């Protein structure tokens, strides 16, 4: 019974958004924080070679999870009737080999960019991976749905993939492997435009009727998020563009804390730190950032 539930898309379109900032979401946030600190602490105490091996293993893992999910979707498409959600698709489908979603694309490009050191892609891929990871952690529509305490392969996939999309770039930036620069903003703009055109191509010509990148319909209409929950379809894209811009700006500021010596520079601005800041410093120092 457990395996039949685990290997299914059951509940993927049920109660999405109902658990935002309720107990299941707070538990999910807490688990992400604990895992982030624990893994960071663990890796910082390993040699460079061991770190590289572990990161390589993680990158392989997120690729395996991506395609394991697609194997499940393909199986359900051909063998389960009625289909349990909109996610099942035929084998000869673009989603089998690539993706029309930002996180699905960075899921594939992040390992390739790191392994082959594709420098022209790093600015866009690193920032977009971090942004996508944070977005799903804050609004876990692909993690918390149906029964929040029933774990399925798609839930496990989304949980781990989005966590590592956030963790890996930040860790590599902290190690000095790459440094983000606002001067390379054109790479971000080009990446976003190409991504939007690619998703639009999928919505109109390949997966007709799909809502990749939420370009076609507003998924937050009538939901709990202020402003977005009232914007009609089409108009929501203007708000989304503004939020994406703000998101990338925040990422650039956030990443400064994770650069070598970044947190020490930040904390030096607060000589009269209160006890909360002091506790935060102790945790940060223990992670050797």
Q: CA 198 to CA 207: how far, in whole Å?
A: 12
Above 80 in pLDDT, residue 137? yes
Above 80 in pLDDT, residue 223? no
Residues 245-270 have pLDDT tens digits of 999 999 998 999 999 877 777 766 65
* Mean pLDDT, residues 140-159 taken together: 85
Q: CA 1 to CA 189: how far, in whole Å?
A: 47
- Structure confidence at residue 85 as a pLDDT band (50, 70, 90): confident
Above 80 in pLDDT, residue 226? no
pTM of the model: 0.88
**pLDDT of amino acid 1:** 45
Distance of CA 1 to CAs 4, 5, 8, 80, 143, Å? 5, 6, 11, 16, 21
Task: Concatenate the DSSP letters of all residues of 55-121 into one string.
Answer: HHHHHHHHHHHHHHHHHHHHHHHHH-SS-SSS----SSSHHHHS-SSHHHHHHHHHHHHHHTT-HHH
Q: CA 178 to CA 170: how far, in whole Å?
A: 10
Among 11, 34, 251, 267, which Cα is nearest to 132's?
251
* Mean pLDDT, residues 223-244 taken together: 85
- Which carries the bigger pLDDT value, residue 218 or residue 44? 44
Share of the chain above pLDDT 90, in %: 52
> Is the separation of the CB atoms in 57 and 64 below 8 Å?
no
- Which carries the bigger pLDDT value, residue 108 or residue 264? 108
**pLDDT of amino acid 141:** 82
* Mean pLDDT, residues 34-39 taken together: 97
**Least confident among 18-22, 104-108, 186-190, 263-267:** 263-267
Q: CA 191 to CA 197: how far, in whole Å?
A: 10
**pLDDT of amino acid 10:** 75
- Residue 219: exposed, middle, or buried by beta-carbon count in 10 A (0-12, 13-18, 19+)? middle
Above 60 in pLDDT, residue 275? no
Average pLDDT, the chain: 87
**pLDDT of amino acid 276:** 61
**Least confident among 118-132, 163-177, 210-224:** 210-224
Can you tell me whether residue 29 is helix, strand or coil? Answer: helix
Tokens (6 digits) for 17: 């958004």
Alpha helices in the chain (DSSP H): 2-6, 23-44, 48-79, 94-97, 102-115, 119-138, 153-174, 185-201, 236-258, 262-267, 275-286
**pLDDT of amino acid 212:** 86
Q: CA 3 to CA 164: how far, in whole Å?
A: 25
| Block residue for tokens 């990338």 | 248
Interior CA angle at 250 toward 227 and 160, to 5°?
Answer: 90
| Block residue for tokens 């898309």 | 9
- Structure confidence at residue 160 as a pLDDT band (50, 70, 90): very high
Residues 191-217 have pLDDT tens digits of 999 999 999 999 898 877 788 888 998
Above 90 in pLDDT, residue 169? yes
- Which carries the bigger pLDDT value, residue 18 or residue 31? 31
Above 80 in pLDDT, residue 53? yes
Q: CA 55 to CA 32: how far, in whole Å?
A: 18
């Amino acid at each position: 019974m457990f395996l039949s539930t685990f290997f299914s898309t059951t509940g993927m379109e049920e109660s999405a958004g109902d658990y935002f900032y309720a107990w299941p979401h707070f538990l999910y946030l807490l688990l992400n924080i604990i895992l982030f600190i624990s893994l960071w602490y663990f890796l910082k105490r390993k040699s460079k070679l061991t770190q590289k091996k572990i990161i390589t293993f993680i990158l392989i893992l997120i690729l395996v999870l991506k395609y394991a999910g697609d194997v499940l979707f393909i199986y359900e498409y051909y063998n389960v009737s009625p289909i349990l959600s909109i996610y099942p698709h035929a084998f000869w489908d673009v989603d089998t080999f690539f993706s029309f979603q930002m996180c699905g694309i960075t899921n594939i490009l992040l390992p390739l960019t790191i392994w082959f050191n594709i420098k022209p892609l790093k600015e866009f891929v690193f920032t977009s991976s971090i942004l996508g990871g944070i977005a799903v952690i804050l609004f876990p529509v692909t993690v918390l749905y149906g029964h929040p305490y029933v774990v399925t392969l798609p839930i496990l996939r989304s949980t781990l993939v989005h966590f590592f999309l956030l963790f890996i770039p930040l860790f590599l930036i902290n190690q000095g492997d790459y440094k983000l620069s606002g001067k390379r903003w054109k790479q971000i703009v080009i990446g976003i435009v190409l991504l939007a055109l690619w998703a639009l191509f999928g919505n109109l010509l390949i997966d007709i009727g799909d809502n990749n990148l939420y370009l076609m319909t507003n998924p937050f209409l009538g939901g709990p998020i202020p402003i977005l929950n009232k914007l009609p379809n089409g108009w929501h894209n203007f708000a989304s563009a503004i939020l994406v811009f703000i998101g990338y700006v925040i990422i650039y500021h956030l990443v400064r804390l994770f650069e070598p010596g970044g947190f020490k520079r930040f904390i030096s601005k607060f000589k009269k730190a209160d006890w909360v800041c002091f506790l935060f410093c102790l945790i940060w120092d223990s992670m050797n950032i």
